């Protein structure tokens, strides 16, 4: 398994896995397949351009992208000491192999090197016990629960807000 920063050249494979994630686990993401399916590859490529204040990392198995995780610094001046983790997904064929942990460790390391980041936040689907356990094992702590945070197919789902002090 190889973990590396994704760049603009990875746009086609990123888009395939991202859309797969949105279909496979719609409750885990605020965005939807319908909202992202027609995003032009040029826009996706620009989003993949790594900057000191953001990055998307991928996990590759035999050259195939099988996992994703990302972070970005908050934009507002008074919030720039915080980063936000988003888009964590591992293809079902590669779960329970430590891929998500490796991706999260890469994201955390990138955020630590960004300078001035004191805290990383994320949101996890409250019923996703495996994800919550992973985040807690990495030092994230729950600081709130948002009832009815996501509505998918008319069903409401709670989210947990979690934070890691760097």
**pLDDT tens column, 101-138:** 999 999 999 999 998 999 999 999 999 999 999 999 99
State residue 97's pLDDT score: 95
State residue 50's pLDDT score: 80
Rounded to an integer, the average pLDDT of 61-72 is: 96
- Dihedral class, residue 147 (left if φ above 0, else alpha if ψ from -120 to 50, else beta): beta
Domain 2-120: CATH superfamily is Gcn5-related N-acetyltransferase (GNAT) (3.40.630.30)
State residue 159's pLDDT score: 97
State residue 45's pLDDT score: 96
Task: Please give the Cα distance from 133 to 86 (Å, whole number).
Answer: 17
Find out whether 18 and 36 touch, Cβ atoms under 8 Å: yes
State residue 24's pLDDT score: 94
> Residues 10-56: pLDDT tens digits?
999 999 999 999 999 999 999 999 999 999 999 999 999 988 899 99
Rounded to an integer, the average pLDDT of 81-88 is: 97
């Amino acid at each position: 398994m190889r973990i590396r920063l994704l760049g603009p050249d990875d746009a086609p494979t990123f888009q395939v896995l991202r859309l797969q994630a949105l279909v496979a686990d719609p409750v885990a993401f605020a965005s939807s397949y319908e909202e992202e399916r027609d995003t032009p590859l040029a826009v996706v490529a620009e989003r993949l351009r790594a900057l000191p204040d953001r990055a998307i990392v991928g996990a590759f198995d035999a050259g195939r992208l099988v996992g994703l995780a990302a972070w970005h610094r908050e934009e507002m001046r008074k919030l720039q000491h915080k980063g936000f983790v988003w888009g964590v997904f591992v293809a079902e064929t590669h779960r329970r192999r430590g891929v998500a942990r490796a991706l999260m460790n890469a994201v955390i390391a990138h955020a630590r090197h960004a300078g001035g980041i004191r805290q990383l936040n994320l949101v996890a689907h409250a019923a996703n016990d495996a994800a919550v356990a992973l985040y807690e094992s990495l030092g994230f702590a729950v600081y709130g629960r948002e009832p009815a945070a996501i509505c998918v197919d008319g069903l409401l789902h709670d989210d947990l807000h979690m934070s890691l002090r760097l």
